[in-house]
Amino acid sequence: MFNQDDLQRLKETNACPEGNLSEALLVGANLEGAHLTGANLFIAVLKEANLQQALLSDAKLELAMLQKANLREAHL
């Protein structure tokens, strides 16, 4: 389960490197350019999220729901 403080940090700063966002509901979230390097996004719901140019290197994306998410120029 996600860490509420990490989710709040993401919302406020558009960054949460190494954060625990597992199972977070981020449907339609605007995360353009978000710094999520090494973040735990296991089973996170990112349907229709904007992840354009997001930094996702070493992020844990197993079972993450990414249907219709914008991953253009995302750094995987």
Q: Which residues of 1-34 are buried (b: 16+ CB within 10 A; e: fewer)?
A: ebeeebbebbeeeebbbebbbbebebeebebbeb
CATH code where residue 69 lies: 2.160.20.80
| pLDDT given at position 5 | 98
The parent domain of residue 44 ranges over 1-75
Average pLDDT score over the chain: 98
56 is written with which tokens?
């996702």
How many separate domains does the chain show? 1
Per-run averaged pLDDT (10 residues), the chain, 76 residues? 97 98 98 99 99 99 99 98
Helix, strand, or coil here: 45? strand
9 is written with which tokens?
């940090």
Residues forming a β-bridge with 50: 30, 70
